[in-house]
Amino acid sequence: MSMTNKKRAIFLDRDGVINKEVNHLSNPAQFEFIPGSIEALKILKQKGFLLIVITNQAGIARSLFSEEILNQIHNKMRRILNQNDIILDDIFYCPHHPDFTGECNCRKPKPGMILKAQREYNIDLQTSYMVGDTLSDIETGIAANCKTVLVLTGYGLEERKKMISIKPDYVFENLLEFAKNF
């Protein structure tokens, strides 16, 4: 297949990027969009990117919440986005944790979820972006050969201090600043 048939994607960490980081979000009522993130997703969609959420949800492995609850949280996120005429193309989540469920290939910073999305949607990784608020997200993007973006929402301000040898390609205040300015 030629390059021109390939799609470009924005791979989005969820917590601390789209919605407020509350440390193991386990109730749909706690789900709250970060100001500007809905507008940001609209802009990114208009720029022609697939919008794909890539999220570690080890709370499932830890029995902090069920997959049913996670689905309810994601349904709420999708419903509000749909009300704003935004369709999320997909959500990939890793329900594992090595201490509880053993090693897996999907938990970030491994690139398994991005590679799975790449196969399903025929994505050109080199012209796609991984956006996250942690070092782990940036490592994931690098491992998958994507461009990487650190946002300073969520854990971003603290996590930036850990980035000594591993550097994101871009740093933005939040998802909206990225969407408007890259």
Long-range pairs of 80-84 with CB within 8 A, sequence gap ≥ 24: 80/33, 80/38, 81/38, 81/41, 84/38, 84/42
Task: Given the residues 15, 85, 90, 99, select the one marked as catalytic.
Answer: 15
Q: How many alpha carbons lie under 13 Å from residue 42 in its C-beta half-sphere?
A: 10
Binding residue for Mg ion, selected from 9, 10, 15, 123, defined by CB under 5 A: 15
Is residue 159 a contact residue for Mg ion (CB under 5 A)?
A: no
* Helix 37-46 / helix 67-83 crossing angle, nearest 10 deg: 70
Is residue 156 a contact residue for Mg ion (CB under 5 A)?
A: no
Q: Is 89 a catalytic residue?
A: no
User: Which 84-143 positions form the footprint of Mg ion (CB under 5 A)?
Assistant: 133
The least CB distance from residue 28 to Mg ion, in Å, is 18
The least CB distance from residue 55 to Mg ion, in Å, is 8
Q: Is 13 a catalytic residue?
A: yes
Is residue 13 a contact residue for Mg ion (CB under 5 A)?
A: yes
Which of these, 82, 151, 110, lies nearest to 92 by C-alpha position? Answer: 110
* Residue positions annotated with a catalytic role: 13, 15
